[in-house]
Chains A and B, each alone.
Chain A
Amino acid sequence: MNVIVLLKQVPDTESIIEIADDGASIKTEDVKWVVNPYDELAVEEALQVVEKNGEGQVTVLSAGIKQAETAIRSALAMGAHEGILIEDERLERADTTATGQVLAAALKKIPHDLIIAGQRAVDGDNYLVPAIVAESLDLPILPVIIKESIADGKITCEQVIQGGTMVVEADLPAVITTQRGLNEPRYASMPKIMKAKKKKIASLSLDEIGITDDSLFSNPKIRVESLQVPQKSRAGIIVEGGTPAEKADNLLRHLREDAQVI
């Protein structure tokens, strides 16, 4: 069983994000980079699939610049067997369509029975890459799942829908995407972190995966025109009162008369 995890490196939630001089991208120098949290769920699930299956391997695939190796190493430290980085400077600013196409092109050369991706990356929140990969490879896709099981060449998943879930089933190979609740990603132990540091991460160029068309990068399908820091001013009033009932009364008066929301 060959399980592939699609991995993206994203800014840590606690990082301060500043707008770069071009007004449409962020300053990356001081950002702390981590594995996209939904991709951590994907790595964990991939490891569990292989453990349950008794054989097979987990390959982590990422597209980006050299620095993305750090994220791949985190996945290797969790227990992934192999890491592959499609490396090109142009991938740093590639849009979701280009990223999806690049990953799909690489996957055409990598044996895969199951592809697991995060439902979205928490930097751009685009939700699009797994759909593009499935479309390009002509595979079924079961997104936003909280449970999966594999038997007889089929994967059965519980998928989140508004107000409930749906149990769905597809033949392998297939693409699935993760939702919180699927699992609790394991911590990497110190010996495993040390071992992961020594593992070789394979590097693929765009040429090697047959991406020769530069228009994928020069003509993006979606473009960030500008970035702003949200300016939502808050009233910031501390509601006083001698007793909880007085405080409650004063709060409701504010909400009714000033804010007019009740």
Chain B
Amino acid sequence: MTTNILAIVDHAEGKLRKSAYELVSEGRRLADASGGTLTALIVGKEVNAMAAELGEYGADTIFVCDDSCMADFDADLYTAAAVEVIKTTGAGIVLVGSSPTDRTLAARMAAKSGVGVAMECISARLRDGRLIGTRAMYGGKLLADVILEADPQIITFRSNVLNIEKNGKAGAITPLAPPPAESKYRIIEKKVRHTGSVELTEADVVVAGGRGMGGSDYTVVEALAKNLGGAVAASRSAVDQGWRSHEDQVGQTGKVVSPKLYVACGVSGAIQHLAGMSSSEVIVAINNDKDAPIFKHADYGIVGDLFDVVPAVTAQLQKMK
């Protein structure tokens, strides 16, 4: 059964997000498996330069909605544009990333189309033209295979779970006029917090500090993260203490990350925290309590004071360079 695929890609500061490459690569694989076409959709202002690159990862057609009214994420307008492209391409499967705005877009498209959405999948496969998505439920205690029973099948993927593959197609670029829809709300102001730093959910390496940090001084954790090219995270208890902001929180009521390497420093390993990081490829735990639950979930553990061990790791890393 032929199924056309649509990948909706995100970007920031004039660059495609990592999820964009992941989604288009996965879209190519699914399109090849089903004999359908892969369309990519990019929306924003001055996004034309990024569009061509999407062809290199296998998009047959790239719809570009480039307009000043689409400069910032307006969920009403973005949803209208996406739903229109779903109709024109006859897409049976729609792939979306997992930033807060990606998830909002997926939910809004599903609501408008009267279908479900498989959120935050870690993998997907086709069976008779239907997508089976695998995703965590109950705070990561279980993995579910879910099937979307109505088209379009909308699926969002966690960052860092899909392979990026080049597949030169030099896709055809098609301009798309902004939708005639009107937004039900107004964007007053956009506040970008950190430019240039690695986004936590997309980072290959995450270094987290927990209760064992004992205060808001994260210098040792930040130095290790910097030397590994990674991002800094915090456990819920560290955030509750006011040591780090909520946006750094990894856990059930925070962000879910799947980096190649997760280094937990002074993190006890509460269930709430494990829900946010247990799908990491390799987990390192550094804790002075040899009975801390985190060691049961780690590949490598060091029992010791994090304020001795973490700077030592940073120092050894610098020697290697």
Q: Which residues of A contact B (CB under 8 A)?
A: 11, 13-14, 17, 19, 26, 37-38, 95-97, 100, 122-128, 130-132, 134-136, 139-144, 146, 156, 160-170, 174, 179-181, 219-230, 232, 234-239, 243-245, 247-249, 251-252, 254-255, 259, 261-262
Binding stretch for chain A, among B32-40, B43-51, B245-253: B245-253
B46-88 toward A: CB 8 Å interface, digit per residue (1/0)? 0000000000000000000000000011011000000000000
Is B126 interfacial (CB-CB < 8 Å)? Answer: no
Q: Known A95-B116, A230-B278, A254-B300; judge A164-B193 contact (CB<8 A).
A: yes
B241-261 toward A: CB 8 Å interface, digit per residue (1/0)? 000011101001110000011
Bound form: Cα–Cα A139–B108 in Å? 12
Which residues does chain B contribute within 8 Å of A181, judged by CB atoms?
A: 245-246
The reply to whether A168 and B142 form a contact with Cβ atoms under 8 Å apart is no
Is B271 interfacial (CB-CB < 8 Å)? Answer: yes
List 8 additional contacts besides A37-B253, A141-B184; criterion CB under 8 Å. A14-B271, A160-B247, A164-B194, A168-B188, A223-B149, A229-B143, A245-B315, A252-B316
Nearest B-chain residue to A140, judged by Cβ: B184
Q: Known A17-B142, A161-B99, A168-B185; judge A146-B107 contact (CB<8 A).
A: no
The reply to whether B246 and A17 form a contact with Cβ atoms under 8 Å apart is no
Partner of A122, one of B139, B145, B260: B139
Bound form: Cα–Cα A97–B113 in Å? 11
Q: Which residues of B contact A (CB under 8 A)?
A: 10, 12, 17, 72-73, 75-76, 99-101, 103-104, 106-108, 110-112, 114-120, 132, 135-150, 184-195, 199, 205, 228, 239, 245-247, 249, 252-254, 260-261, 271-272, 275, 278-279, 281-284, 295-305, 308-309, 311-313, 315-317, 320
CB proximity of B62 to chain A, nearest CB, Å: 22
Partner of B116, one of A19, A96, A252, A261: A96
Which residues does chain B contribute within 8 Å of A248, judged by CB atoms?
A: 302, 309, 312-313, 315-316
